[in-house]
C-alpha cells in the first residue's frame, strides 16, 4: 500500500498542475510559456517525489541510497516530457487528439521517472513478464491522465473551468492512475544491491524522502499560493480592462453608446432598410443655450443637465438607437414602416420632454432643444446622413430653436454661404473693414442732439454693407464676439477722443452682448480703453438688454458693480420686452431705461402701448432714472413721448446712423436736418455737460 505522504504529495501535485494549466490556455505566448513551465515543475515534483516515497516505503537493504546523477537525470528527462505533454494538451484548440496524445505523453513521463529512479536506487528490471506489466502501468497512468483532462478541459468554449469539484475530481483521477502505474512497476523491480556495495556518494534513502516530502510539498504549496495571489491581482485588472473596453463603447458621462458604437448600429439598420425597401430617419439633437448653463452655473450643472437630457431621450428611444455625439449633441435612429412621418411625431415628443423644467443644484432650469432630421436613402448614404442631419439642426437653431427641421438640399448652400461669411468676418478686423456708425440721440424737450449710439457696420468688399443682424449672431455662435466687442469699445473711446479734440464732448453709447457680460475682465478692459484715450467715463454709456440684465446671478451683480465702479453710465435696453423684477431693478446701478421699439411703433394707434410707455416713464422717475425711446419715425410718436415726459428719443424721424465724419461735419457746420441742432453744452467743458 502506498504511504499517505506519497498519496498526498501526488494529489497536491496534480491539483497545483491543473490550477497552473488553467492559466496556460488563453494567455499570450510569453506569459503562457512561463505558466506552462511552472505547471511542468509542479507535476515533476509529484511524480518524482511520489516515486521516492514509494521506494522508501519498501523493504530495502540497510544503507541503500540513490545515485544523485541519475536522480537529476530522471527529473530533467521527466520535466522535458511533461512540458511537451502539457503544451500539447493545453493548446488553444480543443479536441480528442490533443487530449489523448497529452495523456499518453504524461503516462510515459510517469513510467520514465519511475524506471530511472529504480536505476538510481540500484534496482534492475527482470526480463520475464516485465514489459507487459510496464506497458499495463503506462496504460493505467495514461488512462488516469486522460480522465483528468476530460474532467478538467471543456470540449466546448464557455464551460466553467475553475469549479473546485471538477478540479479535485480531475486531480484524483490523475493520482489514481499514477499510483496504479507505480504499483505495477514495483512488482517487477528487484532490489538487488547489497548494503556493503553502496556508493559512498549516494544520497541516503531517508534524506531523499525528507527532501521529497518537505521540499516538494513546500514548493507545491508556494506555487499554489502564487497562483492564488496572481488570480486576486488579475481579477481587478481584468475588470478594469473590461470597464475600459466598455468605456470605449459608451460615453463616460451619460453612459449612452458612443458615436463609434452607434455607427455600427446605424450601418446594420440601413442594411435592413435596404433589404426591406424601407426608410430610416436619423435625428440630430442639440440643446439650445447649453453654453449659457455652463457659463452661469458651472460645468457641474452642465453635466447634470446632460444626464437629465440623456435620461429623457432614452425614455423615448428604442434600445441601442441613441448615442451622445459630443458636447450637447445626441443622435437618435428611427426606422420601420412610415418612418419619416412617425419621426416627426417623435421629434415633437422630444421637444416637449426636454422643455420640461429640471432641478439642478437646487435651481429650476428650463432648456430647449433643436432637432435636425435626415431621411435614408432620400438624403444620402450613411456617410452623409450625420452631416445632413447636423445641417438641418443648424437651420432649426437659426430659426430660433426649440423646433425640428427636415434636411433640404438648399440648406447646404446656406451652410456654405455661412462658412464663407465666417471666413471673411475673421479677416474683417485685420483688413479694416469694420466701422462704427452713430445715430444721434435727441433731447426730447428741446429737440437738440445731446448724445449718439455707436452701431457696428461691416463694409464687405464683395457683398457691400452688411447689417449687424446678419454677422453679429454669426460672431456669437463662432467665438468672434469677444474680439468684435473689444474693438467696438476701443474704437468708440478713440472716436470720442477725436471729437473732444475737435471741440465736441458728446456722450457715446455702446451695446454689450450677453456673451461679453460673461467676460470677467470686461469692466477692466473698458477702464483701460478710457484711460488709453483719456476719456472721462461720464462720456460712455453701456447699453445692456433687459433679458440679460435681469439674470439674477452673482456673476451679473458683480459685473454691474464693477462697471458702475468704472464710472460709466448703464442703460437697460429693450425695456418692457422681458420680465423684470422691480426689486432686482432697484438694486441695479443703472441710470437709464430704454423703451422697446415695439411699443413706440404702436403709440399712435394703441392705447395699451401708450399706457405701457407712460408706466415705464413713471417707473423711471420713481427710480431716479432717465427714459430713452428708440425707433421714433413719426412726429406724432415724438409728440406723445414728449408729453409723457420721455428724456431722450432717437429714430429715423431725426437722423439715420451715419459715419463719425458725417456726424462731426453736421455738428461743426450745421450740415444736417435744419430743424435739429446740437446742444450748446456739447461744446463746453466736460464737467458742465448736460444730459
Q: 372-385 pLDDT, tens per residue?
A: 999 998 888 887 89
Conformational region of residue 398, where left means phi above 0, alpha means psi within -120 to 50, and beta covers everything else: alpha
The pLDDT score that the predictor gives to residue 209 is 55
* CB environment 91-112: b (16+ within 10 A), e (fewer): eeebeeebbbbbbbbbbbbbbb
Helices 130-152, 4-21: axis angle to 10 degrees equals 50
Is the entire prediction scored with pTM above 0.75? Answer: no
Residue 371 and residue 311: Cα distance in Å, rounded? 17
Residues 6+ apart with CB under 8 A from 582: 619
The pLDDT score that the predictor gives to residue 438 is 95
**First vs last Cα of the chain: how many Å apart?**
120
Strands (E), 216-328: 280-288, 322-326
The pLDDT score that the predictor gives to residue 64 is 55
Q: Are 140 and 181 in contact (CB under 8 A)?
A: yes
Q: Are 110 and 178 in contact (CB under 8 A)?
A: yes
Q: Homologous superfamily of 421-672 in CATH?
A: EAL domain (3.20.20.450)
* Segments of the chain with pLDDT less than 70: 1-2, 22-31, 49-69, 91-96, 118-130, 153-163, 185-249, 551-555, 576-581, 583, 670-674, 685-691
Same fold yes or no, 259-407 and 421-672: no
Q: Are 671 and 665 in contact (CB under 8 A)?
A: yes
Residue 292 and residue 297: Cα distance in Å, rounded? 8
The pLDDT score that the predictor gives to residue 208 is 52
376: enclosing H helix or E strand:
strand 368-376
Strands 648-650 and 434-443: antiparallel
The pLDDT score that the predictor gives to residue 647 is 93
The full DSSP string for 93-151 is: S--HHHHHHHHHHHHHHHHHHHHHHHHHTTEEE-STTHHHHHHHHHHHHHHHHHHHHHH
**How far apart, in Å, are the Cα atoms of 63 and each of 122, 188, 204, 213, 402?**
12, 22, 7, 20, 100
The pLDDT score that the predictor gives to residue 213 is 59
Domains in the chain: boundaries: 4-241, 259-407, 421-672
Q: Are 19 and 227 in contact (CB under 8 A)?
A: yes
Residue 84 and residue 36: Cα distance in Å, rounded? 9
Residues 6+ apart with CB under 8 A from 175: 7, 10, 11, 14, 144
Residue 651 and residue 449: Cα distance in Å, rounded? 12
Query: Of the CATH numbers 3.40.50.300, 3.40.50.150, 3.30.70.270, 3.40.50.11540, which one belongs to the domain with range 259-407?
Result: 3.30.70.270
* Alpha-carbon Rg for the chain in angstroms: 46
Amino acid at each position: 500500500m502506498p504511504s499517505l505522504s506519497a498519496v498526498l504529495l501526488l494529489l497536491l501535485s496534480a491539483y497545483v498542475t491543473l490550477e497552473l494549466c488553467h492559466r496556460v490556455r488563453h494567455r499570450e505566448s510569453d506569459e503562457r510559456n512561463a505558466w506552462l513551465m511552472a505547471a511542468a515543475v509542479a507535476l515533476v515534483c509529484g511524480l518524482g517525489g511520489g516515486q521516492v516515497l514509494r521506494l522508501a516505503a519498501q523493504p530495502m537493504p540497510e544503507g541503500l541510497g540513490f545515485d544523485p546523477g541519475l536522480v537529476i537525470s530522471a527529473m530533467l528527462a521527466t520535466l522535458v516530457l511533461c512540458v511537451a505533454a502539457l503544451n500539447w494538451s493545453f493548446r488553444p484548440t480543443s479536441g480528442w487528439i490533443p487530449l489523448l496524445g497529452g495523456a499518453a505523453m504524461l503516462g510515459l513521463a510517469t513510467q520514465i521517472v519511475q524506471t530511472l529512479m529504480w536505476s538510481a536506487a540500484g534496482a534492475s528490471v527482470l526480463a520475464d513478464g516485465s514489459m507487459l506489466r510496464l506497458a499495463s502501468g503506462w496504460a493505467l497512468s495514461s488512462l488516469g491522465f486522460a480522465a483528468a483532462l476530460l474532467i478538467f478541459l471543456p470540449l466546448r468554449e464557455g464551460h466553467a473551468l475553475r469549479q473546485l469539484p471538477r478540479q479535485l475530481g480531475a486531480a484524483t483521477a490523475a493520482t489514481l492512475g499514477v499510483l496504479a502505474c507505480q504499483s505495477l512497476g514495483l512488482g517487477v523491480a528487484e532490489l538487488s544491491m547489497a548494503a556493503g556495495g553502496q556508493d559512498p556518494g549516494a544520497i541516503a534513502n531517508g534524506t531523499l524522502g525528507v527532501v521529497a516530502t518537505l521540499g516538494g510539498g513546500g514548493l507545491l504549496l508556494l506555487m499554489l499560493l502564487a497562483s492564488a495571489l496572481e488570480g486576486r491581482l488579475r481579477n481587478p485588472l481584468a475588470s478594469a480592462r473590461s470597464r475600459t473596453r466598455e468605456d470605449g463603447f459608451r460615453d463616460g458621462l451619460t453612459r449612452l453608446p458612443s458615436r463609434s458604437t452607434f455607427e455600427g448600429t446605424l450601418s446594420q439598420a440601413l442594411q435592413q432598410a435596404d433589404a426591406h425597401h424601407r426608410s430610416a430617419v436619423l435625428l440630430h439633437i442639440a440643446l439650445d443655450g447649453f453654453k449659457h448653463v455652463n457659463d452661469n452655473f458651472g460645468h457641474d450643472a452642465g453635466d447634470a443637465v446632460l444626464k437629465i437630457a440623456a435620461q429623457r431621450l432614452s425614455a423615448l428611444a428604442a434600445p441601442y438607437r441613441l448615442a451622445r455625439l459630443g458636447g450637447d449633441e445626441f443622435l437618435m435612429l428611427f426606422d420601420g414602416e412610415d418612418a419619416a412621418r412617425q419621426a416627426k411625431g417623435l421629434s415633437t415628443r422630444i421637444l416637449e420632454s426636454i422643455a420640461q423644467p429640471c432641478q439642478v443644484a437646487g435651481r429650476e432650469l428650463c432648456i430647449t432643444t433643436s432637432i435636425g432630421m435626415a431621411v435614408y436613402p432620400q438624403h444620402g448614404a450613411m456617410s452623409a446622413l450625420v452631416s445632413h442631419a447636423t445641417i438641418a439642426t443648424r437651420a432649426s437653431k437659426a430659426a430660433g430653436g426649440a423646433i425640428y427641421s427636415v434636411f433640404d438640399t438648399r440648406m447646404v448652400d446656406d451652410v456654405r454661404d455661412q462658412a464663407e461669411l465666417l471666413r471673411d468676418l475673421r479677416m474683417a478686423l485685420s483688413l479694416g473693414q469694420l466701422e462704427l456708425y452713430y445715430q444721434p440721440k435727441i433731447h426730447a424737450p428741446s429737440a437738440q442732439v445731446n448724445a449718439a449710439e455707436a452701431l457696428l457696420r461691416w463694409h464687405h468688399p464683395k457683398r457691400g454693407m452688411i447689417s449687424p443682424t446678419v454677422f453679429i449672431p454669426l460672431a456669437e455662435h463662432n467665438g468672434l464676439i469677444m474680439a468684435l466687442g473689444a474693438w467696438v469699445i476701443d474704437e468708440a473711446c478713440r472716436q470720442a477722443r477725436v471729437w473732444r479734440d475737435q471741440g465736441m464732448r458728446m456722450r457715446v453709447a455702446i451695446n454689450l452682448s450677453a456673451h461679453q457680460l460673461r467676460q470677467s475682465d470686461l469692466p477692466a478692459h473698458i477702464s483701460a480703453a478710457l484711460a488709453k484715450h483719456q476719456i472721462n467715463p461720464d462720456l460712455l454709456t453701456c447699453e445692456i438688454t433687459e433679458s440679460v440684465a435681469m439674470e439674477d446671478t452673482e456673476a451679473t451683480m458683480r459685473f454691474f458693480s464693477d462697471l458702475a465702479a468704472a464710472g460709466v453710465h448703464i442703460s437697460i435696453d429693450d425695456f418692457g420686452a422681458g420680465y423684470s423684477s422691480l426689486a432686482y431693478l432697484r438694486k441695479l446701478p443703472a441710470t437709464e431705461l430704454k423703451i422697446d421699439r415695439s411699443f413706440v411703433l404702436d403709440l399712435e394707434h394703441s392705447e395699451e402701448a401708450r399706457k405701457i410707455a407712460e408706466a415705464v416713464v413713471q417707473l423711471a422717475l420713481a427710480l431716479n432714472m432717465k427714459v430713452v425711446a428708440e425707433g421714433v419715425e413719426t412726429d406724432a410718436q415724438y409728440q406723445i413721448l414728449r408729453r409723457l415726459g420721455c428724456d431722450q428719443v432717437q429714430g429715423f424721424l431725426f437722423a439715420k446712423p451715419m459715419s463719425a465724419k458725417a456726424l462731426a461735419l453736421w455738428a461743426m457746420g450745421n450740415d444736417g436736418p435744419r430743424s435739429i441742432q446740437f446742444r450748446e453744452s456739447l461744446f463746453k467743458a466736460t464737467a458742465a455737460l448736460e444730459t
